[in-house]
């Protein structure tokens, strides 16, 4: 769980240049909202995909998705140019 949350929060921080990030946890639901640039989750979750001019190996979201599956969590992503909302909850 720590790896999942750390990765998602770090991504929100990394890609939010203006505005902010809101994190809520209640009744088994963990939600991260940011006002960042948004992203295509289907593309970004592919192993080795990373944003231009960014460090890392491009395995973060791929790893998050796999860890959610193994731990019985659903992962919902809604992202646009106005920001992203990621919701984790038990299945």
pLDDT per residue as tens digits for the range 15-52: 899 999 999 999 999 999 999 999 888 888 886 666 66
Distance (Å, whole) CA 34 – CA 79: 9
Q: Is 27 helix (H, G, I), strand (E, B) or coil?
A: coil
**Boundaries of domain holding 12:** 2-90
Q: How many domains does the chain have?
A: 1
Q: Read off the CATH number of the domain in which 49 is found.
A: 3.30.565.10
pTM of the predicted model, to two decimals? 0.84
Return the number of other C-beta atoms located less than 10 Å from residue 35's C-beta.
Answer: 17
Q: Report how far residue 83's alpha carbon sits from residue 55's, in angstroms, rounded to the nearest whole number.
A: 21
pLDDT given for residue 49 in this prediction: 67
């Amino acid at each position: 769980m720590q790896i999942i949350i750390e990765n998602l929060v770090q991504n929100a921080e990394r890609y939010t240049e203006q505005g902010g990030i809101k994190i809520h946890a209640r009744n088994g639901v963990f939600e991260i909202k940011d006002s960042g640039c948004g992203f295509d989750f289907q593309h970004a979750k592919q192993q080795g995909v990373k944003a231009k001019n960014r460090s890392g190996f491009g395995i973060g979201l791929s790893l998050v998705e796999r860890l959610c599956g193994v731990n019985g969590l659903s992962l919902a992503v809604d992202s646009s140019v106005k920001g992203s909302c990621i919701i984790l909850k038990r299945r």
